[in-house]
Structure 1
């Protein structure tokens, strides 16, 4: 990043200073002050009424609507709970849960406990016995199978393998060698005989199957095909070539020349007609464009340039000034409304609040203290004394009644027997003497001197 200021080139000219954003015309300066005065006069009462309504609305919202809404919300909440929540809660708590607990207890008593007892007391011993029996049977079968397998293996080795090995080594091997030598001799003779027989069979097959077909193809099919080809060339190909070269080609050339001439004439005529239509269209378009321009565009441009644009600029200036004036007037009216509100608040405080507070502090508080000290406290002390005297009298009367009832019971039924205390033996685990034990003393009969 280049932070140094580069010098301007000599050939360059500094840009012309632009107009400040706040520069306005004489129309704006002329209508600004009157518009602001008029708007201020009109807006101040509206702002005062607006602020008063806002204060009243906040008071009504916070002191009336909000508590009423909370009360209605609480009532609706209670009603919704009473209608939709509490019945289901009661159904769940006092019907579904007890029924579920009862069903769970029944399932545990009727299914789980018998199943556990059956599994622990019946199935487990039976399974253990079956497993022990299966292990014993498996061990016996394994031992028997091992013995049978060993016996079968010994018999197989003794009765089959050993004789077979002796037979293979002593009998089959010499016989096989002899058969192989005889087969080689017979094979050599058979090869010579087969070659002669094969030559004879080959000549017979060719004479029966090959040579007749070759003769048929060479001496019958080929001459017939050559004759048919010569007839086709003479009767079809040569006339067709002569017809194409001598008749169809000249006719086609004539038709092509005629088509080119007709096409050239039609193209020339179409170009002329197209040029005329294009010239006529350009003329009509020029006339219509000029007419539309002078009938619609030029008046519209003149109307826009000389009427609508100046009127729009004037209306924009007036609207901007009115908007600015409304903003300034609304803010000034807010300050005025704040001052008026504070003045009214102070006036109401001086008229109503201060006299009431002075009367409370200067008149009612001393009178209340005097009434409290001279009337209420002595009356309360006297009432407490009367209460204590009444409670003492009631307690003495209650004791007298209780004593009289005890005397009557004693005269009618006699005095109750006093319980005789039973002595409880004390465990003799320590010395009776309060002296502590030492190493020289003893507490048992064996250790005494």
Structure 2
């Protein structure tokens, strides 16, 4: 493997920004210093010329749709879009077809990724009301964790039996990641709006149907169960200001038993955007109010919320263009997540150091990912160079998702990803993919 030397970078790492060079050999960072001389004649030199070098994003929640839903996306297409967006590792969800609710089905997904992924990968194992025996077989050193749908599930993945849920929480030593929305509350809200509007419900009713109350009831119930059983709980895509008060910043992340994630779309959009974006920003949980958006950012900055993810969940435009009741929830985000966060930096809302903390350092700490998430000597060289002053326009011609669209269509971003390295290989460079990646299955220090 060819050595790589990154020169003249503004390195953003562990709460600091400093000018320096980074040397990579055999896929690992071997030296970080103010100045490094070229070691061999065939070393690849990347002159950062003052661009910012970040550890690659670790996205802890994506839906890449393979197997079974590959008309929307697949591991190859979406991981390629991810590395173009600065994401070097991802954790994918179990609600594919078939669902990854047995060890054999989970390993089939790992096998697909080993052959086609552009980024490092892991997968969540899916919990159901009747697969505890399989859950207990999962090796926590080789699998990211257990995903439980406590609302908004597909297939048979809604875990709604309280006795089973408590048994899972009590017996598993896996990190439990949960989608928290109360189905009964949502059902009641939906019936109310159907009685008023029939089948012609507006997309603007989405945050009222999948309401603050539905989120809070479910999140608080899951947290109480985790506290009762001692389970390690991670609450996915917190979407309301009210929920943020369920989480604490009194302990360092490595010591927390209950943690939280916020997604890019909940930091970017509000219910005012339904007028122009329609079902393209229909997600579960729903995008809610400006108050919620502001509260999520505040909780992120004061460390009640621990990580930022995408919940990348593509659908075709044909599917999304249905009316409210028939349009699926979810949208593509991995290619544009980092540049959207950098836009918040340009607006003075978040620092570069905090972006790196929440997208790279903290996912590595939270999931106990081995040798990734930091720019450290000896660590895997998963790195991203960004130019903070190179505007570009999101348009169909440069969208890499298989579905071919983005909720950021037409947006001009001030920053762009210029280079992405996965395990020391330059897989993305100035809008091209010069080398095939050598991605690895993530392993965990547990």
TM-score, scaled to structure 1 = 0.09
Greater share of strand: 2
If you compute each CA radius of gyration, which structure gives the higher value, 1 or 2? 1
Query: Looking at both structures, which has the greater relative contact order when contacts are Cα pairs under 8 Å and sequence separation is at least 6?
Result: 1
Greater share of helix: 1
